[in-house]
A and B are shown apart, each in its own frame.
Chain A
Amino acid sequence: MLSVLALTSVVLLGIASQCTAISVYTNWEKHVQVGSDVRLSCSFFSWHWTSAEVTFSWSYRPDGAKESVSIFHYTNGAPYIATKGPFRDRLEFVGNPNRRDGSIMIRNVDYNDNGTFTCDAKNPPDIMGHPSNVRLLVFEKVPVQAGVITGAIIGVVLGLLILVVAIYYLMRFLVARRVFSLSMRHGKKGKGKEGSQQRQAGPSK
């Protein structure tokens, strides 16, 4: 019985490791101000342990162009930056492959850097998966995202309301407890006086 169970679990694990694929995660869009640095993060999820032969590959397609160029590759434990690409001296590898992080940093972005960046990660033997895209948008002044301030104002006001209600009930609870403890002390004093009066009244009779 136990051997059948062990065999089934081994077979299932074997099938499972071949059916799953690697999933690569990046941001959807990145809004940056011209002249600043931007960190493009890329991480992956894989059912296998992170192997020593894990590879990260970044490519870039400018807005309006049809082809993408390869700008970065990490393999065999060493990062390689394309020496003739548009980011040759502005790109830096800031990821940690052991923690499944293959992020890159681009310094001093310009309006020509608008475009789509693609990250492809492979973790042998898990090499089946889709690469993930992140769009870079460069602004002169980063606009406020829709709904951020709305949500903040609503949250602050409702939070203040809840705080006021909580403080009111806390004060009521504390006052009630104080009144209760005072009445207890009065009750004990009253009983003590009655007892001494009874003792005085007893011998006189």
Chain B
Amino acid sequence: MLLLLVGIVILHIAALVLLFVSTIVSAWVVNPASSSDLWINCNTLNGVTKCDTANTGVWIQAVQALMILSIIFSILSLFLFFCQLFTLKKGGRFFLTGAFQILASLFVMCGAIIYTVMNSNWVHPSLFYGYSYILAWVAFPLAFISGLIYVILRKRE
């Protein structure tokens, strides 16, 4: 029982860490000379790195908002899990925790989809997708599975 609990919490935290890294690290689209992400664009010329703030279009702001919302909902879900662990009666399901985690995964999915479809507006054609972008796509099924486990799980004593 304890092993199961630890495993679920580790899965949840892994999804959360992926979300954090994906949102913060500047590697959504890269090429050998520059990297750009949701917040800044950096260029490296002759060893000198120059960064300036990203384009302020409507779509990139939507992606920023969705990534931040997914992080908030995942943190809320973790907090709710510990609350429900102590207050739920025996045999009850962690519906609320699972709902928040599934919502977080849906937000990441929407953000990644919007970025994929609309990034031709602000990204140079010579750039290709970096690891932050891939981590965002990996975080989506991870968070979704974690949420499903919470919904299916029943509390035992």
Mark the stretch among B7-15, B61-69, B143-151 that contacts chain A.
B61-69
Are the C-beta atoms of A146 and B69 separated by less than 8 Å? no
Which chain B residues border A154 with CB–CB below 8 Å? Answer: 65, 68-69, 72
A1 at the interface (CB under 8 A from B): no
16 additional A-B residue pairs with CB within 8 Å, beyond A144-B58, A147-B56: A144-B56, A145-B56, A147-B61, A150-B62, A150-B64, A150-B65, A151-B65, A152-B65, A153-B61, A153-B62, A153-B66, A153-B69, A154-B69, A154-B72, A158-B69, A158-B72
Known contacts A144-B56, A145-B56, A146-B56; decide if A157 and B69 are in contact (CB<8 Å). yes
Known contacts A153-B69, A154-B69, A158-B72; decide if A146 and B62 are in contact (CB<8 Å). no
B contact set with A: CB distance below 8 Å: 53, 56-58, 61-62, 64-66, 68-69, 72
A148 at the interface (CB under 8 A from B): yes
29 pairs of residues in contact across A and B, judged by CB atoms under 8 Å = A143-B56, A144-B56, A144-B57, A144-B61, A145-B56, A146-B53, A146-B56, A146-B61, A147-B61, A148-B61, A149-B58, A149-B61, A149-B62, A149-B65, A150-B61, A150-B62, A151-B65, A152-B65, A153-B61, A153-B62, A153-B66, A153-B69, A154-B65, A154-B68, A154-B69, A154-B72, A157-B69, A158-B69, A158-B72
A contact set with B: CB distance below 8 Å: 143-154, 157-158
Closest 3 CB pairs of A and B: A153-B65, A149-B61, A146-B56
Residue in chain A with minimal CB distance to B63: A150
Residue in chain B with minimal CB distance to A153: B65
Distance from B39 Cβ to chain A, minimum over Cβ atoms (Å): 9
Residue in chain A with minimal CB distance to B53: A146
How far does the alpha carbon of A143 sit from the alpha carbon of B72 in the complex, in Å?
28
How far does the alpha carbon of A151 sit from the alpha carbon of B57 in the complex, in Å?
14
Which chain B residues border A145 with CB–CB below 8 Å? Answer: 56
How far does the alpha carbon of A148 sit from the alpha carbon of B58 in the complex, in Å?
9
B58, B69, B72 — most chain A CB neighbours (10 Å) = B69
Which chain A residues border B64 with CB–CB below 8 Å? Answer: 150
Distance from A87 Cβ to chain B, minimum over Cβ atoms (Å): 30
Residue in chain B with minimal CB distance to A152: B65
How far does the alpha carbon of A169 sit from the alpha carbon of B58 in the complex, in Å?
36
Which chain B residues border A153 with CB–CB below 8 Å? Answer: 61-62, 65-66, 69
Distance from B54 Cβ to chain A, minimum over Cβ atoms (Å): 8
How far does the alpha carbon of A31 sit from the alpha carbon of B57 in the complex, in Å?
16
How far does the alpha carbon of A148 sit from the alpha carbon of B56 in the complex, in Å?
9
How far does the alpha carbon of A196 sit from the alpha carbon of B68 in the complex, in Å?
68
Distance from B52 Cβ to chain A, minimum over Cβ atoms (Å): 12
